[in-house]
Amino acid sequence: MLVKEFMTPNPQVVGPEVPVPEAARMMKQGGFRRLPVVKDGRLVGIVTDRDLKEAMPSDASSLSIWELNYLIAKLPVGEVMSKNPITVGENMPLQAAAKLMLEHKIGGLPVVREGRLVGIVTVSDVLRAYLEREAELLVGAEGS
């Protein structure tokens, strides 16, 4: 099983200049938890829902809600993203990608070809592959 068989090809991306609230809206509307950050066609980082939540001010702030909203609206994704994310190639075995995610405690990996983003593979994709494989084994065992 290879990464390319289970990855999401051509995922939604943002540029590093995109404001944090816009990236958060994109994630919420798309139902995903991470966005690759691309500049001039090259992967430069990844931003997660956790990165965006941590960028939001705490309730203990002395600023007014209007001041907070103004500041957050100007904060670009490039300031909160993880730079130089761990990546995988599309021909990497899915098991190796799963091992990387486990070792680094991350939920997804950008898939690149010659520095250009071609997809994203997540823990959900690994679970789907596992369940599909189990179903194939069950069907094979029943047919014997």
pLDDT tens for residues 8-40? 999 999 999 999 989 999 999 999 999 999 999
Distance CA 7, CA 98 (A): 12
Distance CA 20, CA 135 (A): 41
Note whether 90 and 2 are within 8 A (CB).
yes
Q: Which residue has the higher pLDDT, 52 or 67?
A: 52
pLDDT tens for residues 73-93? 778 999 999 999 999 999 999
CB atoms within 10 A of CB 126: 21
Model pTM? 0.82
**CATH code for the domain of 20:** 3.10.580.10
Task: Report whether pLDDT(58) > 60.
Answer: no
Averaged pLDDT, 39-62: 80
Q: Which residues constitute the domain of residue 82? A: 3-142
Task: Report whether pLDDT(41) > 90.
Answer: no
Domain count, the chain: 1
- Rg, Å, the chain Cα set: 18
